[in-house]
Amino acid sequence: MDQKRVLLIVGGGIAAYKSLELTRLLRKAGVGVRPILTRAGSEFVTALSLSALAEDKVYSELFSLTDEAEMGHIELSRSADLVVVAPATADLMAKAANGLAGDLASTTLLATDKPVLMAPAMNVRMWEHAATQRNLSVLKADGVSFVGPDEGAMACGEYGPGRMAEPAAIFSAIMAALGGGAKPLAGKRAIVTAGPTVEAIDPVRMLTNRSSGKQGYAIASALAALGAEVTLVSGPTALPAPAGVKRVDVESARDMLAACEAALPADIAVCVAAVADWRPATAGEQKIKRDGKAPDAIALVENPDILATLSQGKRRPKLVIGFAAETNDLDAHAKAKLARKGCDWIVANDVSVAGTMGGDDNAVALVTKGGIERWERMAKGDVARRLADRISQEFK
Ligand code: C5P
């Protein structure tokens, strides 16, 4: 990584402080950081802090005689291997999506011929606004990559998507984009299932569950970052496909199993999806009419068990990992599940802890035939990276 360089554009948002930590992580990894601090950004962090951590000069002005004399802004836009915008404010995204170039940051984004990675950060309503979502689509179509935003409590007191991804997650995305870092899973194929399944009752009604898909998506992303060729078989979620991962969208458990089998042979399978245990015995072709009276019952039949099928199949991946969401007797249930399903490891999480389902953190225990390892509570992205790391050790 020693020769790699990042041009880091720090926009104006409360999350700008996280970019200082990001700068520190990058420098520690030997990546060069040349910072651009927007005027709004300088309301949140100082050029002095940024410059000290980056060990480089901070650029701020488009029409600065000294900056232009030292390095013209066109040169600046091309001096790095990757341009990172963190925080990417609604304003910076709008400017970049529309090709505006009224200041140094936006001019750099327009003039660069290098890949661009944005870490959006803004109020949830601003993020969800049609204009921002439109700009997001335009930027994606223009080839810009994104990390985050995360969902959670915001500095403005609201809750929802809009928080900037944590520095460690942005750092991983940068390392992946720079093509650096060790690739211990290069040449290995992995299947990851994620999200809920949807089982039709009739053309408009369904049985489903509250899985957000976050943990599975993070695992797919972490495996890809270590060089694995990942197929992410996903039920409906609100998440973007992680960079470098092939996503196959499915709805029912049966479709999910078929998509997994189509992705075989594989070296690794990680079943994170919350698969519906049962589905309606018959899915009406027509919408069931009210007819003044509720149906007495909806008859259910069992769904295939994807984890067990993959574990016990002829083309079994070398390493098969299941998840167990438990509310009590975590260890005993996880061990029993290991034996019943025939998989190698179970990652057990206690979903009785408030905020685990759909939240950003997870406290898990890794259950293998050798014993139980408890991991401290951490972000789902960190659980994913640690698991991917453990997986790579199996392939040494
Ligand atoms: O006990 P349970 O069957 O819910 O075990 C959960 C584990 O099994 C998870 O890894 C989940 O993805 C997987 N599973 C599956 N297919 C099912 C049910 C669960 O792959 N039909």
Atom of ligand 1 nearest to the CA of 333: 1
Per residue in 96-135, pLDDT (tens digit) is: 999 999 999 999 999 999 999 999 999 999 999 999 999 9
For residue 84, the model assigns a pLDDT of: 98
User: For the ranges 112-116, 264-268, 306-310, 352-356, which has the lowest average pLDDT?
Assistant: 352-356
In this structure, which residue's CA is closest to atom 13 in ligand 1? 307
Which ranges in the chain are annotated with CATH 3.40.50.10300?
189-393
For residue 231, the model assigns a pLDDT of: 96
Bond prior to 149 in cis (omega within 30° of 0)? yes
279 lines ligand 1 (CB under 6 A): no
Q: What's the 271 CA to ligand 1 centre distance in angstroms?
A: 7
307 lines ligand 1 (CB under 6 A): yes
Which ranges in the chain are annotated with CATH 3.40.50.1950?
5-177
For residue 191, the model assigns a pLDDT of: 98
User: For the ranges 153-157, 164-168, 182-186, 253-257, which has the lowest average pLDDT?
Assistant: 153-157
Mean pLDDT over the full length of the chain: 91
For residue 181, the model assigns a pLDDT of: 65
pLDDT higher than 80, residue 163: yes
Per residue in 24-33, pLDDT (tens digit) is: 999 999 999 9
347 lines ligand 1 (CB under 6 A): no
Active site (annotated) includes residue 156: yes
Q: If pLDDT is split at 50, 70 and 90, which confidence band does 240 have?
A: confident
- Residue in 347, 343, 341, 345 with CA at minimum distance from that of residue 374: 347
Q: Which two tokens stand for residue 264?
A: 């075989």
| Alpha carbon distance 12, 9 (integer Å) | 10
pLDDT higher than 90, residue 219: yes
Is residue 150 a contact partner of residue 357, using CB atoms and an 8 Å limit?
no
The gap from C-alpha 324 to its chain's centroid, in whole angstroms, comes to: 20
The gap from C-alpha 168 to its chain's centroid, in whole angstroms, comes to: 12
Q: Which CATH superfamily is domain 5-177 in?
A: Flavin prenyltransferase-like (3.40.50.1950)
Best residue for ligand 1 mutational test, from 199, 275, 279 (most atoms within 8 Å of Cβ): 275
User: For the ranges 25-34, 91-100, 238-247, 387-396, which has the lowest average pLDDT?
Assistant: 238-247
271 lines ligand 1 (CB under 6 A): yes
Q: If pLDDT is split at 50, 70 and 90, which confidence band does 357 have?
A: low
Atom of ligand 1 nearest to the CA of 323: 10
For residue 62, the model assigns a pLDDT of: 83
| Alpha carbon distance 70, 88 (integer Å) | 26
Per residue in 271-297, pLDDT (tens digit) is: 999 999 999 999 888 998 888 788 889
Which residue of the set 156, 260, 271, 343 is catalytic? Answer: 156
Second-level CATH architecture of 189-393: 3-Layer(aba) Sandwich (3.40)
Q: What is the pTM of this model?
A: 0.66
253 lines ligand 1 (CB under 6 A): yes
User: For the ranges 53-62, 65-74, 140-149, which has the lowest average pLDDT?
Assistant: 65-74
